[in-house]
Every structure is written in C-alpha cells, then in structure tokens.
Structure 1
Amino acid sequence: ASIVAFLEHLFLSSQSEVLRILRKGEALGNPDELRPAAVQKGFVHVRVNVCGSPLEFPESSPSIGKVRVKHRGILLTLKGTVIRSGGVKMIEGEREYQCRKCNHRFPCYPELEAGNRITLPASCPSMRSKGCQSASFQLIGDSITCHDYQEIKIQESVQLLDVGSIPRSMPVILMDDLVDLVKAGDDVIVTGILSAKWSSDVKDVRCNLDPMFIANYVRRTNELKSGIDIPEEIIKDFELFWAENRATPLEGRNKILKGICLLRFLGYSR
C-alpha cells in the first residue's frame, strides 16, 4: 500500500520525469539474450490509463471549462469531442551532447512551451566528485531523436452544460503512436499533462501563455456512447422526482407537461 501511495504521489507531482524514467527502464528491462536485436525497440512508449486506479478521482478529472492554472503540471483526464484534427508532422524530441573538457555525455530535451527550443545547461551536469564547470559542449552525431507529432482540439460536450453556456475547448498534443488515432467527431478520453506555450512574438504586443494538453493516453469512446450523455445530477433529479410521485404518476406527468407548456409557449418555467 505504501509503494502504491508513493507511486501515486510521483505521478501527480513529477509526471514528465517519471515517464522518462519508465521509458528508460522498459528499454533496459529485457536482456539482449532474452530479446533478439531484431525485435528490440529503440524507443518505448509508456502509456498511463488511470481508469479504475487510485489516480482516478474528481480533482484529476475536471471538465474542460473548469481547467485552471492550479491544474498545470499534474496528471489530468479530460473528456470531450474532437472538433479539429491537424496533419501529422515531425518534431525533435532529444539530443545528446558531450562536454569538451571531461567528455561527460548528457541528453537535452526541447521545451514545447518555448517553441520546441533546446536550452543547454549553464555548466556541465557531470556528477563527479570534483565537478566540472565547463560550459563548452559539442553535439554528438546521429544522436537526434525525432517523433511523430499532431495537434488536435477537443471540446466539452454541450449536453453536459447549463442552458446558455458556451462550450470550452482545449488544444491537445499527440505524439508517436498516438497520432492518427482519432478524427474530428470522435468522443475521446485523454490522459496527460496540462502545460502552456508562449504565443507568437509580435512587436509591441504582450506575450501570452496559451494552454495546451500533452497527451499520454487516448481512448475513443464512440463505441461506449449510447444516445445522449446524461449528467449524474440529472439522473438523480429524475429518480427523486418519480420517487416523490410514485403513488400518483399521473400528477407527475401533469407537472412535466405543465412545465413544458409554460416554457414552450410563454418562454418561462415554473
């Protein structure tokens, strides 16, 4: 139980680092003699499906319209309908550099928030006891790793909103084996990390941060959808109404008809 709680805390606080470690561990988990080189994967995609796990709780599954700054950097699950699907592109995902002084090798990862720009460390990140303060690095040839990249946009279901409310949308980043899994019109459940990226630089115009959702797991729910998505509150109100009118169902029917007629012909309900 303590291990599960510890892993849950790590996923909620440092998802990017945890997923990166899991990918490396999976790649090293099978010895060469047990897995032929012909079937070895150079890059492993670790996907997190929180359905039915301790990571699934209301605070981590807000509606798109209720996503706020407090959710930034934590593992979230969003539900919505794909309203736009972009083309598949290629994006750089990792480079490896070598210190010119101590020959220490280290990876550098681009920042999606900054237009996928790579920022080199101020000094050599070597963990040697003496330390290396060199700031001169060279790129190792053939060390650049690229990924498939696609942007989609999902919108919260109109059926779950109050009358007059405007549905909100969220751009979602799909990478590697997640690209081309969904298309416009699909109902999806997306698990990932809320982040933000700088808007385009324009002279004399204030720069803004635009929200984006970096997906780790995507599931199409079209086959699970039956008719209309009905909120839990509506279901409870329905059950309560008929429980109160169980003995006089015709009176309950008349109340419904009366409410519909007032709303339809007079423009208000009572």
Structure 2
Amino acid sequence: MGMNKMLEKTRVFQCSKCHGFIEVEADIEQYNYIPVPTKCTASAENCPGRLFNPLPTDSESGMNKCIDYQEIKIQEQPNKLNIGSIPRSITVLLQNDLVDNAKSGDHVTIIGIVIRRWKYLISGERPDIALCISANSVFVHNNQEEFFGTTPEMKTFFNNHWQGHANDPMKARDIIVSSICPQVYGLYIVKLSVLLILIGGVAKHDDSGLKVRGEAHLLLVGDPGTGKSQFLNYAAKISPRSVLTTGIGSTSAGLTVAAVRDGGEWMLEAGALVLADRGICCIDEFSSIRESEKTAVHEAMEQQSVSGAKAGMIINLNARCSVLAATNPKGKYDTEQSITVNVALASPLLSVPSQASANSNNNSKKDNKFTFNQLQQYISWVKNQFHPVSTPESERILTKYYQLQRKTDNRNAARTTIRLLESLIRISQAHARLMARDKVTSQDAIITVMLMESSLLSATPSFNSLNTGPESGSHKNLKNPLHTNFPENPDLAYKIIEKKILEMLDIDETFNR
C-alpha cells in the first residue's frame, strides 16, 4: 500500500510573451506527469511565445490545484484460488475522498475504470505499459456476513437443531464438532479446540481506551503424520479471511510488514498476520521460525497490531487475527517434560494443546454432520449473533481453576500469569457461542477447564470418562487425553467430567442448581 500524499492535479504556466496563464492537467496515464506547453493558448490571438514558466504551488493566484492521492495494490484472495494458482495483483489509484478508505489486510470491492500507464517516452528506450484501475468506489468488507450472509432458512435450521436437542445439548454440540475436518479420523478434543479458535471470544473495549482481544491462539504439537496440517488447511479454507503459510518460508517481514521501494517511492507490503486481519492466520512448521523472528509476532498476537518505523515511515497496522500454528516436537515427545522442553518454544502468548494422535475412533454418524457450507454459515452466525457475558457460576469455576494453577508447585511460570485467566475467559465465551448462548454458563466453564487440562497433558481421572474403548481405564489413555474418541453418550460423559472437575476445584456440585 502506497503512502497518502498530495498530488498536483493541475499546474499553471505563464507565457513569457503575453503573460497569460495556461492550465495543464496531470496525465494519469503517464504516472501523473505534467508536460510543459509547447505553444501559447492563453489568448485568442496567435501569441508566438515558446517559453513558459510554472507558477509555484503556493502561488497567491490559487490556480494550481492539489488533491489527495494514494496508490494501493489489491490481490486475489488465496483461499478462493485453486491449488497451484498464484494470486494476481493490480494497482488501484485512489483520489480525493477515496484515500485511506482501505487499509492493509482489508477485503474490498473496487469499482473503477481499467486504464494503462507508461512512463513518458524517451528516445531509444522501450516503453513499459502496465494496467491499473482508476477507482470510482471502494467498499470495505469488515463483517463476515458480507462475505457469505446467513440465509433466513439456514438460521431456522440452526434454531431447529438446538430446539430438537433441548434435552441433550452436548450431543447437538458434538454433531457440529464432528463436522470439523471430516477427513481426519477421531481427535475429538483437537476438533473442539480448532472450532473454538475459529469462533473466538468477545473483544472488550471500554471508555478508558482499554482493549482486550477476543481472538484466541492455538498451537498443535504432534509427531509427523498425525494430521496437523490437515487442520490448518481446513481452517484456512472455512474462514472467509485466512492466510496459510509456513514458518520456514516466512521472515519477520513475511509475517508482519515490509517496506519496499517501488518506482523511487517507499511502499508498505503487508505480511501474513496483517492480511489475515479479522480472520485466522495458519502457520505450519512454527518451530522453524528463527528466534529473532518469533519476537516479531508477539505484538501482533497479544496487542493485535503491527507497529514500528521503517524507511522513515511510522507503521501502525491492525492484525486482529487468531493464530493457528502447528509444529513437530523436538525429537520424540516426552510426556514427562513440559511443552517448552518438547518444542524448544517459550512463549506465554500461546495456548498449547498436547500432541495429536491418529489412533482414535469416531463414533459420530456421518449423516448427522453439518455440510461444509452449513458449518461455514454456522460459524458466521454465532460470531455475529451472540456476545455472551459471564455469570457468577462460570466466574467461580474459572477463578478457582486459575488459583489452583497458581498454587501448583510444578506450574509453568510462563503460562500461569494473568494471561491464563484471560485465555480461560476467551475459551468459555467461544464455547458459549458454539452452544448458541448469550451467557457463559458453568457448563462452558467446565469444558474450558477440561481443554486447559488437556493442553497441559494432565493425567487427571476426569478424562477417563471420554474413553469408550476397551482400554479406557488404562494409564496410557490417561496420559494421552487427546486420544479420546467421540463419546457415545456426550451428556452422560459431561456429567462425569463435571463431577470430577468440581471435586478437583473443591466446589459443591449443587452451587448452581
């Protein structure tokens, strides 16, 4: 995106013979070049003048005219292209009130006139001609419903889905969860986690200027061949705003922003996190990013912005996106060691679930799953329709769990900061949205605690209830909570989990009844 500047639209020349004024307009097809007149046209008489002096821009005559001017470059959406296609781009010229309407990462609809541009002709040199668009209208899409609106028929279908499962809401939820990445077998908790990341929590903005992000981040850690990249590809495909990249192919400029020189002027090129604004950025092979480049994404992940100073330009761009990353463990995953040791990654900004496994079963019926289009519209519907608020019951559970983590002797000091509590709130809000609710109930808080315990590779007995296979009571399954399959009776399994988690938190089971 080019910088906003003042463009000299017309320049006034004065004839040295008759002292008349000649107004010459900038030629947009020659990069706004203003040619010097070759003959005098200031008076009706045939003036023989051949020498013309330009008036200064700030002349008291006020005849020179300047306008706001900006050049931006638009690119095809990568997630809408076929595999193997390279996104094409074209320059768009903005003038007057259209300047600064769009920012890096915005999805826009441009209406304008296609024109050709070339440099002024020089003897002996071949002219380079390029196409561009002179814009008449710029429409910015900031709402997900503007990409694919949720039809009234689909909203009725969603409401009927929940009304039909009023007595077994967890079963209704698992039907939606099982629709995530159907080509991957099982991995119940991983699919639930990815779906919650796609939905996200509720951002908070108060009058004092305090901003708390609603986007959550997720890191999948697992051995090769366990389906991590499949989840990233599916998330990038289902999200209307998404960027899929790899750590080995991304520098700090490729993830954030770069300043490049184009035609003698500096321009900003948005990186993956900026292009994914209001969407999701999927980063595969996250551990391949060099250590000096990992720090470049910390601000984008926590503050939801990219700032800095490059080439004399003060940069402040939005990067309000969720980060879904995947990485392999450093060697064989050792469940006795912390996640920091296993992946050689120390970052308090990431919520990290444990390693994924392909050795799981899926009990959900295929004919009950949402189609890709239904799931896409459902995510858009709950994100725009529901803005859940916390309840005393949910606050008590999350607070007790946070306090318990702070008291643990072997706790990870990088994870058990106030950011852990903020993560708990975001995940509970996302689950409330998934359940199509405007309030965060104790049920949402219980599921949040279960997911956080899974990410910590906890061996608490609460996860045994999710295992319906013959080895459900084995120590192996307890050490690998992500091996759990979809429970045959989700609501009964939840009751068992709720009882054990409340016992772990030392909360009376009847506190919210």
Normalised TM-score (structure 1):
0.43
In terms of Rg, which structure is larger? 2
Normalised TM-score (structure 2):
0.25
Which has the higher relative contact order, 1 or 2, with Cα contacts under 8 A spaced 6 or more apart? 1
